[in-house]
Homo-oligomer: A and B are copies of this chain.
Amino acid sequence: MSTTSKENYLKAIYNYQSLESDTATTSNLANYLNVSNAAISDMAKKLSDIGLITYEKYKGMELTSKGEKIALNVIRRHRLWELFLMKVLELKWSEVHDEAEQLEHHTSEALIDQIDKFLNFPDFDPHGHPIPKKNGLLPKYPKTLLLSNAELNRNYVFVRVNDRESELISFLTNLGLILNTNLTVKEKFSFDESIVVRINDRNISLSKKVSENMYVQLI
């Protein structure tokens, strides 16, 4: 019923659904999942048939409560694995996402609950994402904004990062830019939308690509 592929589609739809800035369109999902638009249309029919999304041709799709429940469960497995791999098995910050991307589809309820327990029921994964609880609810997490939207000369703390590109994570690690680092935007260049941030008395230049994948919180 819920294969690896279907789980990934549901997660992707959830992702767009929970964004206020974007929606789960066919093209968005195709791009996100690296498949053709035709594959999305195809799967939309199937997911709709089994009651996991609502779908009207040309109008887009939405998770049903059943579909959302599955999506959150997969996300829970993903994020618990990430934290476990990092804290217990010492995998790198940049490696855990790809590994979890596989494991999330092949982990029983009993196993994931043991991992949850072993980690003492954590609220956040290594990239600052909230971990859905066994009951399906997300823990409370703070309002954040993209670093690319942060204002000049105010104090922020780096609290979350998009983990889908391991290169980016490695890059940040090399810069010493780990979660919970304090920073201030000192300059913004409009010609390439790069910025200069001050971190621990060091000025670092970050491209648009980088700053729009980092989330910060005002302090």
A106 to B88, CA, bound (A): 18
By a CB distance below 8 angstroms, the chain B residues around A125 are none
Residue of B nearest to A98 (CB): B108
Q: Is A69 an interface residue (CB 8 A)?
A: no
Residues on A lying within 8 angstroms of B by beta carbon are 85, 88-91, 95, 98-99, 102-103, 105-108, 110-111, 114-115, 118
Copies in the complex: 2
By a CB distance below 8 angstroms, the chain B residues around A106 are 102-103, 105-106
By a CB distance below 8 angstroms, the chain B residues around A88 are 88, 118
Which of B89, B111, B114, B115 contacts A111, CB < 8 Å?
B89
Which of B91, B102, B105, B110 contacts A114, CB < 8 Å?
B91
Closest Cβ of chain B to A89, distance in Å, is: 4
A118 touches B89 (CB 8 A): yes
A102 to B110, CA, bound (A): 14
